[in-house]
Amino acid sequence: MMDFAAARRMMVDGQVRTSDVTDLRIIAAMLELPRERFVPETHAGLAYLDLDVPVVRAAPGEPPRRLLKPMVLAKMVQAVAVKASDHVLDVGCATGYSTALLARLTHDVVALEQDSALAKLAGENLQAAGASNATVVTGPLAEGYPPKAPYDVIFVNGASEIVPQKLCAQLKDGGRLLMVLGRAPNGKAMVYRSVAGDVSGWPVFDAAAPLLPGFAEPPAFVF
């Protein structure tokens, strides 16, 4: 049987720490969270590898759903500088791993998922992880979740080809949105900040992530 605790330590030491992740809160949370609990049992052996682990088959015409690579996730969470007082929206929570991580670092997390089966699984996983400050809601990812807005942080759990204006509109003044902009392998992790209603962004590191449903660039109209 695989020693998941040892694999977890190797993931943190070999992938996270070596990628300039120095926030000890993130490191401690990733050492504690059983990532294997958030992937299908048949994929448990992949949970701690340096890859985006598939968690569900894609519907026709939709991109596949995966957990972000541990290194990319950790660097993104560090880049957005979450605080213990933050109210967070986790867009595309999938099975809830990113939500469980954010829940250990912030005041509360709203986990948005449009796949009802994934949302149910995320709820079960978060309960098992003791994330009592996380709530799972369902709805289209690109629409965000206005009933709980505004947010200090919006964490987009994947890549987008566009700047998601509806999500940006749900930020508090001074709030931050983090996502990967662009398709692999040419994406960049971007932080966007809202100041007095104006949103501006800047790149923080090169990154590749799975494209989320609803975040593809609309096809150009051709005469």
Assess if residue 215 is contained within a domain: no
Asked if 98 and 27 count as a contact pair (C-beta separation under 8 A), the reply is no
Assess if residue 115 is contained within a domain: yes
Assess if residue 61 is contained within a domain: yes
Instruction: Classify each residue of 186-223 as buried b or exposed e, where b means 16 or more C-beta atoms within 10 Å of its C-beta.
Output: ebbbbbbbbeeeebebeebbebbbbbbbbbbeeeeeee
Assess if residue 95 is contained within a domain: yes
pTM: 0.94
Q: What is the largest CA-CA distance in the chain?
A: 60
Assess if residue 86 is contained within a domain: yes
Assess if residue 200 is contained within a domain: yes
Assess if residue 218 is contained within a domain: no
Report the number of distinct structural domains present in the chain. Answer: 1
pLDDT tens-digit series, residues 110-139: 999 999 999 999 999 999 999 999 999 999
User: What are the CA-CA distances from residue 62 to residues 67, 91, 158, 184, 199 (Å)?
Assistant: 16, 16, 14, 16, 29
Q: What is the residue range of 57's domain?
A: 4-206
Assess if residue 211 is contained within a domain: no
pLDDT tens-digit series, residues 143-179: 999 999 999 999 999 999 999 999 999 999 999 999 9
pLDDT tens-digit series, residues 53-96: 999 876 677 777 899 999 999 999 999 999 999 999 999 999 99
Predicted confidence band of residue 32 (pLDDT cuts 50, 70, 90): very high
Predicted confidence band of residue 17 (pLDDT cuts 50, 70, 90): very high
CATH number of the domain within which 11 lies: 3.40.50.150
